[in-house]
Structure 1
Amino acid sequence: MKITNTELEDVLIDLKPLDHVMEQANFVRASQWDYERVTYDYKIGSPEKNITYYIRVQGYAVEGDVDRGDAVIKLLTPIIGKHYYPHGIEYGEEENFPTSTVDRAVTLLQNAKENIQPFMK
């Protein structure tokens, strides 16, 4: 499910400050990148058996290279997904997400956006 109206979509930012800000907000990039794209995930546990939610912020390099660390990243609309063990994560609009989880996602993304603002291009 897309999380709209976050004001993160289409933001341009250098990779290094983006990595720092997202790490401070507890979003993990880990191995979620290639030369042109980055993905940051925030894991939210659930009382439901074998269910975990993920807030995902993705972006792609409009110039430079992620591997070299000199990329300028354009962010996409954040999404929230539901992980079904052992099958994987579903991001579809037909998924149902608890209101509390969506509200938490919006708050986390607003905080990340506030921290990103000083570095926006």
Structure 2
Amino acid sequence: MRFEKTGLENLKAELNRLDETMLDHGLVREGQWDYDRVTYDRKFELKEGTFYLRVQGYATEGEVDSQHAIIQLIDPLLGKHYYPHGVEYGEGENFPKSLVSQCEKLLSSIKAEVEKYAL
């Protein structure tokens, strides 16, 4: 499921500040990056299954490994994990309404914080 028009897709921010904000909201980057892209995930374990909220971005300046990159965020995703194949983000997936609502609130909170220092 793609969260469109959250406002995050219009924001650019310094990688270090973005890392802190995402971690404050329970999204971790860990090893999910390459020189040009970052991925932040938050795991939700519910009776309906395991779900991941994913916020991604790409470097418009610098490289991610230098810790001095400028990141352009893109539309966040919500996916369901299927063992052993991985996470599916397709529109045919069924996501609990309470989870979707929780993710929307979380994304709104992240947007409000990132806007304070966005470039």
| Fold match by TM threshold 0.5 | yes
Asked whether the 8 Å contact 2:8–2:73 carries over to 1, the reply is yes
State the match for 1:93 in structure 2: 91
- In the alignment, the residues of structure 2 paired with residue 107 and residue 78 of structure 1 have an alpha-carbon distance, to the nearest angstrom, of 13
- In the alignment, the residues of structure 2 paired with residue 119 and residue 18 of structure 1 have an alpha-carbon distance, to the nearest angstrom, of 9
2:111 partner SS: helix
State the match for 1:2 in structure 2: 2
Output aligned runs, 1:1-121, within 5 Å. Answer: 1-48=1-48, 51-121=49-119
Asked whether the 8 Å contact 2:15–2:68 carries over to 1, the reply is yes
CA deviation profile, 1:52-99 (whole Å, cap 9, x unmatched): 010000000001010001110000000100001222100111111111
1:112 partner SS: helix
- In the alignment, the residues of structure 2 paired with residue 47 and residue 95 of structure 1 have an alpha-carbon distance, to the nearest angstrom, of 16
Structure 1: runs of 5+ lacking an equivalent? none
Structure 2: runs of 5+ lacking an equivalent? none
The alignment of Structure 1 onto Structure 2 pairs a total of residues equal to 119
TM norm structure 1:
0.95
CA RMSD of aligned residues (A): 0.9
- In the alignment, the residues of structure 1 paired with residue 51 and residue 76 of structure 2 have an alpha-carbon distance, to the nearest angstrom, of 13
One-letter identity of the residue aligned with 2:41: D
One-letter identity of the residue aligned with 2:91: E
TM norm structure 2:
0.96
Runs (4+) of structure 1 exceeding 4 A deviation are: none
